[in-house]
């Protein structure tokens, strides 16, 4: 009788913990999930165009489908994890946005994207590396901050770039009108 009661109690506790974990995951998914006014981000590497400069430049395109302007900050760092262990793109919505990692001093390029427009921001690469982590902060209406982490390999320099005199990165001409 005690064994039956104990197994029933264990099953109830495990069920309650599983239900609480499911509710927490659902709440986090709704908080960090995509919204219609979220600004999508794309990135590419291109050569700097300067003679004697071996380091590429990261070009980030931010499209703002919303009715209010967004603030975008771009930084390029060395990607620590190999491609096999990390995804190509991660997007997060942090709870605490006053942390040191999100302060403007750590981002060499900051720009404003007008409502309904798209903009290309260039960020310098500190040193030549095999893999880069392009970190883009997008501050949106209502205090929502989205952190985009895009991983790009150094072999992708000028891949998809249609010329240094054009304003089209990764074929974004149609993307800007979508």
**In this structure, which topology does domain 41-177 adopt according to CATH?**
Immunoglobulin-like (2.60.40)
Domain boundaries, the chain: 1-32, 41-177
Cβ atoms of residues 71 and 147 within 8 Å: no
State the 10-residue block means of pLDDT for the chain, 178 residues long: 88 94 80 74 79 79 89 87 72 73 80 90 83 87 83 66 46 46
What is the pLDDT, as a whole number, of residue 15?
Answer: 94
Whose tokens are 């927490």? That residue is 24
Nearest CA to 74 among 35, 129, 119?
119
pLDDT on residue 166: 43
Q: Output the pLDDT for position 126.
A: 83
Cα separation, 142 vs 126, whole angstroms: 33
CA-to-CA separations, 74 to 1, 4, 18, 21, 174, in angstroms, rounded? 64, 59, 39, 34, 23
Distance of CA 100 to the CA centre of its chain: 17
* H-helix or E-strand spanning residue 76: strand 70-78
Closest CA to 137 of 96, 107, 178: 107
77 near 151, Cβ under 8 Å?
Answer: no
């Amino acid at each position: 009788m005690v064994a039956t009661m104990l197994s029933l109690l264990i099953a109830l506790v495990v069920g309650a913990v599983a239900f609480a974990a499911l509710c927490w995951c659902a709440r986090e998914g709704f908080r960090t999930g995509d919204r219609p006014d979220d600004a999508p981000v794309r990135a590419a590497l291109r050569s700097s165009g300067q003679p004697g400069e071996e380091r590429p430049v990261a070009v980030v395109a931010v499209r703002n489908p919303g009715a209010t302007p967004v603030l975008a900050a771009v930084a390029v760092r060395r990607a620590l994890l190999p491609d096999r262990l990390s995804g190509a793109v991660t997007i997060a919505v942090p709870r605490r946005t006053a942390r040191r990692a999100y302060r403007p001093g750590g981002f060499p390029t900051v720009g404003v994207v007008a409502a309904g427009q798209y903009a290309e921001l260039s960020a310098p690469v500190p040193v030549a590396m095999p893999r880069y982590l392009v970190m883009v902060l997008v501050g949106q209406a209502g205090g929502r901050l989205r952190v985009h982490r895009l991983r790009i390999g150094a072999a992708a320099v000028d891949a998809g770039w249609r010329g240094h005199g054009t304003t089209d990165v990764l074929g974004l001409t149609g993307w800007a009108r979508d």
